[in-house]
Structure formats: structure tokens, C-alpha cells
Amino acid sequence: MSGLKSESNFEKLLAANQFVVTGELGPPKSADSTVIREKAGYLKGRVDAVNITDNQTAIVRMSSIAAGTIALQEGVEPVIQITCRDRNRIAIQSDVLGAYAIGLRNILCLTGDHQTFGNHPTSKNVYDMDSIQLVRMLKDMRDEKRFACGDEIRNGKNAPIVEPRIFIGAAANPFADPFEFRVIRLAKKIAAGADFIQTQCVYDMARFKEWMKQARNKGLHEKVKILAGVTPFKSVGMAKYMRDKVAGISVPDYYIERLSAAEDKAAEGINICVEQIKELREIEGVAGVHLMAIEWERRVPEIVERAGLLPRPSVK
Amino acid sequence: MIVAERKPFDEILSMIGNARKVLILGCGSCVTVCMAGGEKETQLLASTIRLSDKKQNITRELRCATIERQCDKEFFAAVANDVKWADIIVSMACGVGVQFCGEVFTDKEVVPALNTKFYGATVEQGVWSERCVGCGDCVLFKFGGICPIARCSKSLLNGPCGGSQNGMCEVDPENIQCGWQLIYDRMAAIGRLDLLEQNQPLKNWSTGRDGGPRRVVKEDATL
Amino acid sequence: MSKIVAFCCENSGHKVVESLGLSMPSNVDIRKIPCTGRLEIAQMLAEIEQGAEKVLVLACPLDNCKYVRGNQRAAKRVAAAKNALRDAGLSEDMIRIEFMSSLDKHKLKAVFVEMGVI
């Protein structure tokens, strides 16, 4: 296939206009690799790629590159998340070279949760750049074959240029404020060089559809592959927590009522998730779903199957 | 101005330790305005120390003085005799004044009575808030006069993160306004939303603290 | 006898003191001030340093100050002075504020009785 930017299987599927499914895998809060292997086992063959989170909610976990490498050994294609919170441009570029050399092909660029939310609230943050500048930096590394400082990516004057050919992603949150700025920000991410977008979990379908409409009006869905985020509710408590405590997530009350009325809350949570995936699939410009089953990876096979997304396609 | 607030009393007392002649030196500039280290605050601190000493049966002499400002050498001359007398100087200036006091009186121990917080403004009586981080390369013209570096918790230059809700920042939804909501509203009001559609490149931080301690030389003013 | 200093607003507290028609014991020092909003934190502490056992501030009712917020300021400064007393290892009860109109004779009498003035 021509015109590909990386050697990512995930990119190939998107380029072939397959409706893709990505999963999420949170590395362990220890040096225990068996957790990753176990979670990868649930996801292998059920999703096309798996996001490996980067110290999400600012809690120390195994590095996303290390965990992603283990996932890759287990036959899962990782999407390495990189946040701007903990590393400056020197460290991030260095890590990207290393990630590519190991065989990692997808990177999702994030701003990162503020450290005050995590388990080291007294630490210093970095924010040398924002996620949009990070996207641009990776694009310049891949396409211009240059570091952020302008130097060529080569080990010496006579050494070959070996650039990290990464498939570059960014996140979008259609639910945060100011709402009018959200599509502008999406456009800026695309202008910076994002190849794919994964959104925050969609519960407020009406607002998401409005955001997609604004994106389509600007033709953005043709410039970037948009994957809609979904997260199954495990309980009423979790739904309420997402509604009340997580900034930038909007959970309509009827989901909470529906879960409250259900006998088996977890099963109902999965029912809701399956319905959401089916509804999202019908929206013009949605190229796939990003299934974030937070610490619930073992239920992913069931969700993907019931949503009619199995077997996963393969692309040569 | 530079905004500061007084350290807890116990911390100040432990810095003074066994010193028996203590000069409490106020500053008549920024910290007088933000009511942390001016003449009134020197008196309050001195009074509290005397009451505490009396209770503990400690014999200690205290003197209070406040000079115009502690960031210019000439004003220190007025307190030279008090300094000579003192075992220790408790400076109620910002961190700049504390250090400068020590540079002028090199043989005296100088300790800080304040925690220096930020460059800010009086938003209402008794309330100050941060406006500038001194990055050394002002970008206010790009953001409608509202600084994303100082006023966004993550110093983002290309728009708000996902933690902006109802105009507030998720880092402290009670007290911190989302800097990017402020920028957006301002740009909408002045009809310059187009500026926010431009991608801002990586910032050169070397003009700020990241370039090492800074210095400004104005040639025509030097002797 | 322990010394008591009473800072009295001329619009309220001081009028009540006068209307009680008491001859104040020698240990009670009545100070007439134009508004309790004029009172500085260090001023209250200075009285204690100089031997007062109690400092009493008699201010106008909270919603009725001739200078709009003088009494509210006084309340906050009394709180700050109490903090300083705690810092110094002393009892915050050494400083006390009471709000009363010029007619509140019974209220002031009760305060004085409680403090052992009368």
C-alpha cells in the first residue's frame, strides 16, 4: 500500500477504511510484567491496537514504552501514550528514537493530567510543550527528518538518516469547555500533523454528534481518522463518579437511572457500551472506536463480539 | 508587584533561634502594598515575639525598622546602626530584598520572614492573584492580553486542555479560573478569535529562568 | 486587680458605657475611639504587652456601622490578633469583641459582670 507514513498495522487498517477498534492497557504500579501479559491476552485479536497509558492521572506506573514493548512481545500492537507533563523536548525525542528502534510504531500525544491529581503532588511539572506542539515535533522528526532544534536525525556527518517513522495521534475532548473552541483545537491538532484522533469517552451522544457535525463542516473528518472513545460503566458508583468528579466528561442522568434500575449493573453497563458503539458507528466521519475498559480488560472480548466487531480484519 | 505572605510564626521563631538582638526589617514597597512585610507587619511580628518571649522567660531585644525598599542599596544606610547592633536581621522583604540585605551587610545573618509567592495584582481588597511568570519574552499580544503561561495551570499555548469546565480549572475548580476560557472570551469580545486558530510553535524558554539567572543591562543608565 | 483595656466606638460602645453611669474601677481603662475600624492588630497586642490582662472591643452591630464596614474590619483584626496570641502561646480569650447599639445597656452589663468589672 502506498502513501503510508509508518509501518503501523493500525495505520494500514485505517488507510483501508476498516472500522477500527483500539483498546487500552494501563501498565502496573509495580515492576510486574505478568499483569501486562495477562491484559494483553484479553485484547489480542479483539482489538487492532492498544493504547499504553503514560502514568495516567499522574500516578507512577511502569513506563509506557517498556509496557508497550512487553505488549508487542505478546502480539498486541501498542499505541504509546506520551504526555507533556513529565519530560522536556530532550527526553521525549530521545524516548521516541528508542521506541521506534524497539519496534513501536504508534504514539498518542497528550498534554497529561496535572500532577496535583496523582500520588506525587509535590513534584515539579515540565510542560515544555503542549500536546499540539508535541504532535508537530513528532511530525517534523518523521517527515522533515529533523529534531526540534533543526538538526538532522543522524548519528554523524556520514551516518545515514534514520528517522522514527511514527503514526501520530492526538486526543480530543468534545465535552470540555469552551465548547466553541473544541473544534478549533481539533483543527489545530490536524494542522500540527495528527494522523488519528481518539476522543474522550462519549456518553453525551447529542453533544458528540454536534461536535462531529462542526468537524464535518470544516472537512476535518477527511483529513484525520477520528476514533470515538467509549468506556463501559462497571457500576452506578463509577457512573456517578464520572459525572461528578471527572472534568471534561458529561454523563447524562438517564444512564445512571438505567444502571440503578438494572439487577446486574455490570451487565447493563456492557449493554449500554455495546449500544453506544453501534450508534457511534453510524455517525459519518467516525473511523473507529477507542474502547477504554478501565481495569476491566477481561470484558473487552465480550463487548467487541456483541458489538459485531469480530473477527478483526487483517491487512497485508 | 511582588506578592508575598508571612511565614508561620513558629518557623520565624526557629530561624531566630538564640539570637538576643533582633532587627525586624520591613520593606516599604510591594510587600507593604500586599500587607505582608510593611511597617505594620513588622510591629505585629515584634509584638508577637515579645509576648512569646515573656511567656517563655526569654530575654531578647527587638528593634523594628522599615526602609523604602530592600532592592536598592542606598536605602540600607538609614538602618546601618541598627544592623550593627543586631545579632540577626529578620527581613520582611521579598526574596530579592532578603538576599540584597545580605549582600549589603555581608557579616550579618539575614533570615526571611515571608514566603515570596508571585508577580500579581490586587484583584480585590485583601486578595492578590498571579498574572506574570517573567518568561522574558512577552506573548500577551497573541492572547488578548491574558497570559497562558501564567494563568493556565499547564502553561498551554494552543488552547485549553480537557480539564476546563464552566470557566474553571480542574486543578482547583473553586479558586482557579481557566486561563484559556478567559483568553477565549476576551478574543471573542475583541473579534480576534482568528488569532487563536494559529498554531503556536515550541516556546523558547531560554529567555526565562531556564536560561539560568538573568541580568538586564541598560547601557545608557550605567556609570 | 487585673487590668482591662476597652476600646469603645464613640457611636455605640462608649455611649452605653456612659449610660450605665457607673464609676469605673481603676483597673478598667475606657478608650473612646471614632470607629473600631481604626483599631490596629498591633495596637491590641501592645496593650497586652503593657500589662493588660484583657482587651475588650466594643463595636456597633455588624449591619450598622457609621463608616459602613469599620466593625467588620475590627472583627477580622480581632481574629488576627487572637491568632498572634495563639502563636505566642497565650490564650486567645485575652481579646474579646462585642457588638452592641448605644441602647444595649443590659448586654454590656452582662459582659462586664462576666469579666468581673462590676
Domains of chain B and CATH, by start:
2-117 (3.40.50), 133-211 (no CATH)
Which residue intervals of C33-100 are DSSP H helices?
41-49, 70-87
B151 contacts B188 by C-beta, under 8 angstroms:
no
All cell numbers assigned to B126: 485583601
Flag whether A260 is in a domain.
Answer: yes
Write out the H or E segment, with its range, that includes residue C59.
strand C52-59
Q: What is the pLDDT of residue A1?
A: 46
All cell numbers assigned to A221: 473528518
**CA C91 remoteness from chain centre:** 16
List CB contacts (< 8 A) between C37 and chain B. none
Kindly list the distances between the CA atom of residue B94 and the CA atoms of B25, B91, C84, in Å, as whole numbers in the listed order: 11, 8, 22
Strands of the sheet containing B127-132, edge to edge, are B2-6, B114-124, B127-132
List CB contacts (< 8 A) between B50 and chain C. 49
Flag whether A2 is in a domain.
Answer: no
Look at residue C23 and tell me whether its pLDDT is greater than 90. Answer: no
DSSP letter (8 states) at residue B65:
E
For residue A158, report the phi and psi dihedrals to the nearest 5 degrees.
Answer: -100, 0
Q: What residue numbers bound the domain in which A233 lies?
A: 9-306
Residues A133, B157: C-beta atoms closer than 8 Å: yes
pLDDT digits (tens, 9 = 90+) for B47-98: 999 999 999 999 999 999 999 999 999 999 999 999 999 999 999 999 999 9
Kindly list the distances between the CA atom of residue B75 and the CA atoms of B69, B80, B84, B100, in Å, as whole numbers in the listed order: 7, 10, 15, 11
All cell numbers assigned to A38: 495477562
- Domain ranges in chain C? 3-115
Amino acid found at A84: C
Chains C and A touching, counted as 3 or more CB pairs less than 8 Å apart: no
Residues 6+ apart with CB under 8 A from B44: C41, C42, C45, C84
> By CA distance, what is B51's nearest residue in C?
C88
Residues A127, B155: C-beta atoms closer than 8 Å: yes
CATH number of the domain to which A242 belongs:
3.20.20.220
Count of B–C CB contacts within 8 Å? 40
How high is the ipTM of this complex?
Answer: 0.93
Chains touching chain B through at least 3 C-beta pairs below 8 angstroms are: A, C
pLDDT digits (tens, 9 = 90+) for B101-113: 999 999 999 999 9
Nearest CA of chain B to the CA of A149: how many Å? 10
Q: From first to last of its 316 residues, what are the pLDDT tens digits of chain A?
A: 458 999 999 999 999 999 999 999 999 999 999 999 999 999 999 999 999 999 999 999 999 999 999 999 999 999 999 999 999 999 999 999 999 999 999 999 999 999 999 999 999 999 999 999 999 999 999 999 999 999 999 999 999 999 999 999 999 999 988 888 999 999 999 999 999 999 999 999 999 999 999 999 999 999 999 999 999 999 999 999 999 988 778 899 999 999 999 999 999 999 999 999 999 999 999 999 999 998 899 999 999 999 999 999 988 6
Flag whether A247 is in a domain.
Answer: yes
Structural domain total, chain A: 1
All cell numbers assigned to A121: 503532588
All cell numbers assigned to B77: 544606610
> By CA distance, what is B12's nearest residue in C?
C87
Instruction: Please state which CATH class domain C3-115 belongs to.
Output: alpha beta
Burial of B119 (0-12, 13-18, 19+ CB in 10 A): middle
Flag whether A275 is in a domain.
Answer: yes
Residues 6+ apart with CB under 8 A from B145: B186
Residues B51, C46: C-beta atoms closer than 8 Å: no
Residue B47 in contact with partner chain C when CB distance is under 8 A: yes
Flag whether A31 is in a domain.
Answer: yes
Strands of the sheet containing C95-99, edge to edge, are C28-33, C3-9, C52-59, C95-99
